[in-house]
Structure 1
Amino acid sequence: MILTASTIQQAVGCSAAVAAQWAQPLTDTCNAFAISTAKRVAAFLAQVGHESAGLSRVVEGLNYGAQGLADTWPSRYAVDPKAKPKKPNDLARALERKPAAIANNAYANRMGNGAEASGDGYRYRGRGPIQNTGRANYGAIRDALRAKGIKGVPDFEAQPEALEQPKWGALAAGAFWDARNLNKLADAGRFDDITERVNGGQTGAADRRARYARALKALAA
């Protein structure tokens, strides 16, 4: 599978310059992880495109206001998680517009991260086009890529910023995809199930489906 910049631009909806930057890394990733049919590639590009806002965002910003925190993590930051609309709690108001503090609080003691004071939450916040998150995931990606025989793989725990580079970010997305057996779901056309495994829910489902349809069209061209 060779992905041209033109195909990526059409499928992902990014600029020509961004598509050119990602063409080789995404081609290498698809080849490394058997993302080798139109259905597989379209599903992969759709999910990557959504998570990275068209390959324009490869590091999680987390600059939430209090309301955004309540809406995004209601169990943590809403007075009543089941209420509509949700009302931010005192913790949300204390953390709003403080990205590092938000990450350290939201991701503490999860996904291999240490306590809030360790700074792991922000250090290992979402990176790469599929927003790999958490110290344990960074280490697992490193190990998976090295097991594939890919040369020069950095220690992402020691160098988390490396996942912001197209080469490593794309391969990390491929490792994530492979670990969750998403090629099989793509073959079966179970796109919403792929979204569930990527997102843990159906957030952005309509945009993901629209991207999938566009990618299938681009790959058939």
Structure 2
Amino acid sequence: MTLTLPQLIAAGITPTVARTFLPHLIAAFERFGIDRPRRMAAFIGQCSHESSAFTRLEENLYYTDPARIASMFSALRQVERARGYVRSPKSLANVVYAGRNGNGDEASGDGWTYRGRGLIGITGRTKYRNAEKLLGLPFEARPDLAAEPGGATLTAGQYWTDNGLNAQADRWQIDAITRGINGAAMAGRIDRADRCNRALEALLAAA
């Protein structure tokens, strides 16, 4: 089954964005075996939630509330310390991601350089390096590739297959897929399910 533009629009993606992403989704679906309605719908729905309907391909680290920063990042649990990173996304990324996932220390700037990007965000130098090895694109040297439609879709497809999410989609285990992407927090559980179900309805209606 090949995804079409009307199907993608019916799944809740605006026409302009759908036209941009359609060829990249078709290529990724073929590459990663996302080739049945349930697999395609689960991928579209989960990625739609993760990226605000395919419009946000880069982690937003601009916070105005220090309490929110403290609740989000273990490195800044003290609100008074978190206050110093309000409206300072670059500094925030460099401190909270320092020494993690292959990043250097805060001074290295790796936290900002390798911040989350993609339809299913990859974060940290190690993950960018692994994406480069698996996908054959220079993600480590040019991390912004992961925030472009092609790179964002490929890295999401790689994550999808690496975590066995096709099998869960075949059984329509949306909560299990959500857990595989978001972990125990299950953030946006209801919205994810709604988006997946809408995408499946769009695909089956045109099948």
TM-score w.r.t. the length of structure 2 is 0.93
Q: RMSD over aligned Cα, in angstroms? A: 1.3
Query: 8 Å contact 1:3–1:24 — kept in the other structure?
Result: no
Matches within 5 A, 1:191-206: 191-200=174-183, 201-206=185-190
- Gaps of at least 5 residues in structure 2 are none
**AA partner of residue 4 (structure 2):** T
Correspondence for 2:99 among 91, 109, 119: 109
Query: 8 Å contact 2:2–2:35 — kept in the other structure?
Result: no
Q: Find the aligned partners of 1:135 and 1:166 in 2 and give their Cα distance.
A: 20
Q: What CA deviation, in whole Å up to 9, does each residue of 1:131-177 have, x standing for no partner? A: 1111111111111113xxxxxx2x11100011122111111110111
Between Structure 1 and Structure 2, the one with more helix by share is 2
Q: What CA deviation, in whole Å up to 9, does each residue of 1:44-73 have, x standing for no partner? A: 111110111001101112101213213323
Partner of 1:83: none
Query: 8 Å contact 1:141–1:176 — kept in the other structure?
Result: no
Partner of 1:38: 37
**AA partner of residue 204 (structure 1):** G
Matches within 5 A, 1:74-153: 75-79=74-78, 89-146=79-136, 153=137
Query: 8 Å contact 1:5–1:22 — kept in the other structure?
Result: no
- Gaps of at least 5 residues in structure 1 are 80-88, 147-152
Query: 8 Å contact 1:25–1:170 — kept in the other structure?
Result: yes
**AA partner of residue 24 (structure 2):** P
Q: Find the aligned partners of 2:37 and 2:22 in 1 and give their Cα distance.
A: 16
Task: Please state how far the C-alpha of 1:188 moved relative to its aligned partner.
Answer: 2.1
Q: Find the aligned partners of 1:170 and 1:2 in 2 and give their Cα distance.
A: 16
Identity, in percent, stands at 40
Partner of 1:47: 46
Correspondence for 2:142 among 159, 165, 186: 159
Equivalent pairs counted in the alignment come to: 203
Partner of 1:71: 71
TM-score w.r.t. the length of structure 1 is 0.87
Partner of 1:217: 201
Which has the larger displacement, 205-214 or 182-191? Answer: 182-191
Dislocated runs of 4+, deviation >2 Å: 70-73, 75-79
Query: 8 Å contact 1:51–1:130 — kept in the other structure?
Result: yes
Query: 8 Å contact 1:10–1:218 — kept in the other structure?
Result: yes
**AA partner of residue 124 (structure 2):** G
Query: 8 Å contact 1:25–1:167 — kept in the other structure?
Result: yes
**AA partner of residue 144 (structure 2):** E
Partner of 2:192: 208
Query: 8 Å contact 2:76–2:96 — kept in the other structure?
Result: no
Task: Please state how far the C-alpha of 1:118 moved relative to its aligned partner.
Answer: 0.8
